[in-house]
Amino acid sequence: MIERVFLLFWTLTCPILAQVLFEKPLSPRIANYDLKAVLLPDAKAIDGSWTLRWQNRSETPVTELQFHLYLNAFKNEKSTFLTESGGRHRAGTYEKGEINWGYVDIRRINIVGGEDLTDKIEYIHPDDDNADDQTVIRIPLSKPVEPGAEIELSCEFYSKLPRAYARTGFGDDDFYFIGQWFPKIGVWQNNNWNCHQFHSNSEFFADFGVYTMELTVPKRFVVGANAVLQNKTSTDSTDTYFYRQEDVIDAVWTAYPDYTEIKQEVNIRGTNHKIEVTYLLAPDREALKERYFLAVDSMFNYYQEWFGSYPYSNLTIVDPPVGSEMTVGGMEYPTLITTGGFFSSKMATELLGLNWLEVVTFHEFAHNYFQSLVATNEFEEPWLDEGFTSYAEHRALERFCGETTGYGNVLGMPFSSLDYHRMSYIPNPRGGTMPTKAWEIPTNFYQTAAYSKPVLVLTTLERLLGTTMMNQVMRTYFENWHFGHPRTEDFIAVVNQVAGRDLSWFFNQYVYGDQTIDLHAGSIINTNFIPDEGWFGDGSEMQFSGGNKEEGSDSTIYRAKVRVYNDGTGTFPTDIVIHFANGDSTVKQWDGSSGLIVYEFHNTPKVTSVAIDPLRKNLLDLNFSNNTRNVEAQSAGISRYTLRFLFWLEYVLQFVMSLF
């Protein structure tokens, strides 16, 4: 009771003018947090607390609560995160040493105005048998939360931040990127808690709610968060920032003395929606301002056109300092993304020829659609999260950077995002299937299952349905499921509904299954066709026939055989175009079933070439280079490059000659 009175007092005196952002809730506001954090730079830690109001929107009473304690992934070498990843993340690994480990310690948790639950905390490990993993807890309740009821909890916690090597923690020079830092309630779904352990490849699944953050830091820091700044107060030594965000699934923030803050206002064309973009740029990145502005303005408009409207009025883009781009760069949170750091710089762009700034920015922002708004379960179906995001990124790159140069002109060679994803898929197409729990996907197949194959599958679907219908599919999917938790079958239902036909054959083979396709043009055999000669028919119908011309004449008649194969295991309906010597061509529809098919032509001009899938609709084809076949060999296009290679070899030898 005393706490209640205190709370009332606090609310009245609180300096937040708790301005509401949206007149009507946009989402089911199930999990609502008021977070407070004091950054302790010497201890590399946060002294934190929250009040959580959680609603039971199901039909069944809830008798226990489950929470993620994400930071405990970095508590010791026995956590599931560390054992699964070997402590590796991208190019980096964790560092040993006392200061480098992280954890979250719940000091007290109680029902507001009621029972203290601290002693009831119990670690559980629903995904594996790792008794040492402490990233999920359960707390049994003496009194269940009834359907439709709300429970209000209060918690004090101490978050020791790890040295950032995987997405959250502290870096050199007072750099902090603080994600997954507070005890976070799971998702009550189908009469069960969906609250997975923190795995190295997946971390996001949460309910929507209203978040307020009161962040206190020493004065030297520049602060940013995934929320709207509503107020700031100061003492002699500290600043306190008051943030609020509504209808999101997470709260994240960053503090670093050397950020340069830049603002951009983006107008969504054709609407009166304006978004304020805040850039927090590491030193020397200001030079990228114009490039960012152009890319970000385009990306907002593309996604609006293809998927639907970004409902918030703010986005924060954090470009981390050198050294931290590999650890916390390229990450996604609702209304806040981190980008490519050094690899986006002018120097790196010129050196590598990669459009890294655009690749990362388009990707991370697309997560605001696929994961933050369409809040899929990254633990259980990572492809709905990373795959849809990568598809959006691919489309944005294709439009912004050119069809063949989405990723750049790497060493002078055009390199598209589809090239990149095919290079991931082709060497190992059957390493697993896409809708698989993240931690059950083999490590060497994760990139393919979660990112690359989904891009190829969705782009193939786009080419199968046509871009207009695909846009309709994506818009409907977004419209139906933003602020919800769809699963693979929900997406498929949208596709079937919009397309007006059943596409299970496609999804069963390439989404749920691991079927492969390798369409392959085999031999073309033209044989001089000599018809029987003489008079045929009776009476007035009688006609003289035969007498073929000499071989090589334009009007020589041939009997031609064209062989095409599918060396894969799946089927995919495909067009085959056959060209003749007289300039004619014919299109055959092939069901693309596995094995060999032979097309025979009698009484025709010579067949000169065959092309399977000439419009390249099927991006899952394991080998495009064998899709065409000509009767005559060509080599100029090869020699052009091999002769250049010869030249460079000789040039290298000249260089060696000056050494020896």
Residue found under tokens 């010597």: 581
Footprint of other proteins (CB under 8 A):
404, 410, 413-415, 419, 422-423, 426-427, 521, 609, 611, 622-631, 633-647, 649-654, 656-660
**Cα distance between residue 197 and residue 75, in whole Å:** 13
Q: Which C-beta is closer to other proteins: that of 542 or that of 657? A: 657
CB of 11 to Zn ion, least distance (A): 38
Q: Which C-beta is closer to other proteins: that of 91 or that of 633? A: 633
CB of 660 to other proteins, least distance (A): 4
Radius of gyration over every alpha carbon of the chain, rounded to an integer in angstroms? 30
- Tell me phi and psi for residue 119, to 5 degrees: -75, -10
Residues 388-427 close enough to bind Zn ion by CB under 5 A: 389
**Cα distance between residue 559 and residue 375, in whole Å:** 59
Residue 5 interaction partner, one of Zn ion, other proteins, none, beta carbon < 5-8 Å per kind: none
CB of 645 to other proteins, least distance (A): 6
Q: Does 613 bind Zn ion (CB under 5 A)?
A: no
What does each C-alpha distance from 363 to 324, 555, 624 come to in angstroms?
18, 56, 27
Element (H, E) at 196: none
CB of 361 to other proteins, least distance (A): 24
**Cα distance between residue 74 and residue 162, in whole Å:** 6
Q: Which C-beta is closer to other proteins: that of 237 or that of 625? A: 625
**Cα distance between residue 456 and residue 21, in whole Å:** 39
- Tell me phi and psi for residue 187, to 5 degrees: -110, 120
CB of 451 to Zn ion, least distance (A): 7
CB of 640 to other proteins, least distance (A): 5
Residues 503 and 496 sit within 8 Å (Cβ to Cβ): yes
Q: Which C-beta is closer to Zn ion: that of 454 or that of 592? A: 454
Residue found under tokens 């492809």: 383
Q: Which C-beta is closer to other proteins: that of 589 or that of 658? A: 658
Q: Which C-beta is closer to other proteins: that of 186 or that of 406? A: 406
Residue 565 interaction partner, one of other proteins, Zn ion, none, beta carbon < 5-8 Å per kind: none
Q: Which C-beta is closer to Zn ion: that of 55 or that of 389? A: 389
Residue 386 interaction partner, one of Zn ion, other proteins, none, beta carbon < 5-8 Å per kind: Zn ion
Q: Which C-beta is closer to other proteins: that of 8 or that of 638? A: 638
Q: Which C-beta is closer to Zn ion: that of 214 or that of 386? A: 386
Sheet of 607-612: strand order equals 585-590, 574-580, 607-612, 628-630
CB of 389 to Zn ion, least distance (A): 5
CB of 211 to Zn ion, least distance (A): 22
Classify residue 544 as exposed, middle or buried by CB count within 10 Å of its CB (0-12, 13-18, 19+). Answer: exposed
Q: Which C-beta is closer to other proteins: that of 10 or that of 641? A: 641
- Residue 410, Cβ neighbours under 10 Å: how many? 15
**Cα distance between residue 406 and residue 313, in whole Å:** 28
CB of 216 to other proteins, least distance (A): 38
CB of 513 to other proteins, least distance (A): 21
CB of 583 to other proteins, least distance (A): 16
The closest residue (CB) to Zn ion is: 386
Classify residue 575 as exposed, middle or buried by CB count within 10 Å of its CB (0-12, 13-18, 19+). Answer: middle
Residue 646 interaction partner, one of Zn ion, other proteins, none, beta carbon < 5-8 Å per kind: other proteins
Q: Which C-beta is closer to Zn ion: that of 338 or that of 389? A: 389
**Cα distance between residue 394 and residue 201, in whole Å:** 21
- Tell me phi and psi for residue 576, to 5 degrees: -125, 125
Side chain identity, residue 129: D
**Cα distance between residue 571 and residue 586, in whole Å:** 22
Element (H, E) at 550: none
Residue 636 interaction partner, one of Zn ion, other proteins, none, beta carbon < 5-8 Å per kind: other proteins
Binding mask 342-381 for Zn ion (x = CB under 5 A): ----------------------------------------
What does each C-alpha distance from 487 to 11, 157, 379, 470 come to in angstroms?
40, 33, 12, 18
Choices 372-380, 382-390, 410-418, 432-440; region in contact with Zn ion by CB under 5 A: 382-390
Residue 499 interaction partner, one of other proteins, Zn ion, none, beta carbon < 5-8 Å per kind: none
Residues 376 and 389 sit within 8 Å (Cβ to Cβ): no
Give the SS3 label for residue 53.
Answer: strand
Residue 505 interaction partner, one of Zn ion, other proteins, none, beta carbon < 5-8 Å per kind: none
**Of the residues 386, 393, 462, 518, which one makes contact with Zn ion according to CB under 5 A:** 386
Which residues of the chain form contacts with Zn ion (CB under 5 A)? 386, 389
